[in-house]
Amino acid sequence: MRVVLIGPPGAGKGTQAKLLQERFAVPHISTGDMLREAGRAETSVGAEVRRYLESGQLVPDQTIIRAVEERLRHVDCGGGFVLDGFPRTVAQAEALAGFLGNGHALDGALYIRVPRAELVRRLAGRRVCERCGTMFHLVFDPPATPGVCSRCGGTLVQRADDSEVTVQRRLDVYDRETGPVIEWYRQAGQLREADGMGTRDQVFGRVAELVQ
């Protein structure tokens, strides 16, 4: 199974990708997670990556294309993958089609649709465990003890790019850069759409049906 998940920040791509990983035993590759990891390094490259993440701007195409190409060559991708957060520009979509090549083409691009007002609500309440990365939501999925991860006891924090100003910028960047990617896959006949409203399991029901 070779699938890309497309959708605005807050649509639930990460959550759905993790569920797909469990159900279909393929690796979940999140470029956001890859970049957050790179941004933890106390080096000049780490600092540069952090600047992009914290401002909500996209890192340059060539950088992320090279990183994804390398990641997809890894042996665990032999049976397929779920890409989350890539491609985010038409140049990235073209590069992906190029390096997947003949015989390894994508099975499809899955677009998770959520209205903008709902995205802002979701992102503003999102909290993440700084130790294990588990996501919570102050309203929809609160931890048992406020501020404490129910899984590992770590501290819950707000991602720097989930602050209100950065959220609006990320949504603008998404409309401008990633909107055309949706059209690109539609033109190629590879786009499938799922309604992203409802509970995690309701959305997964729709997503899994499309994937199957």
Closest residue to ligand AMP: CB criterion: 32
176 is catalytic: no
Determine the angle formed by the axes of helices 13-24 and 200-211, rounding to 10 degrees.
60
Single out the residue of 7, 8, 56, 108 in contact with ligand AMP (rule: CB under 6 A): 56
Single out the residue of 19, 29, 59, 194 in contact with ligand AMP (rule: CB under 6 A): 59
User: Which residue is catalytic, options 2, 126, 127, 206?
Assistant: 126
Is residue 12 part of the contact set for ligand AMP (CB under 6 A)? no
- Identify residues 91-120 at the interface with ligand AMP (CB under 6 A): 92
The alpha carbon dihedral of 150, 153, 158, 160 has a sign of negative
**Nearest CB to ligand AMP, comparing residues 145 and 165:** 165
How far is residue 116 from each of residues 48, 82, 124, 126, 159, measured CA to CA in Å? 29, 24, 12, 15, 19
Residue found under tokens 């990617």: 181
Strands 2-6 and 81-84: parallel
- Contact set with ligand AMP (CB under 6 A): 9, 31-32, 35, 52-53, 56-59, 64, 85-86, 88, 92, 161, 170
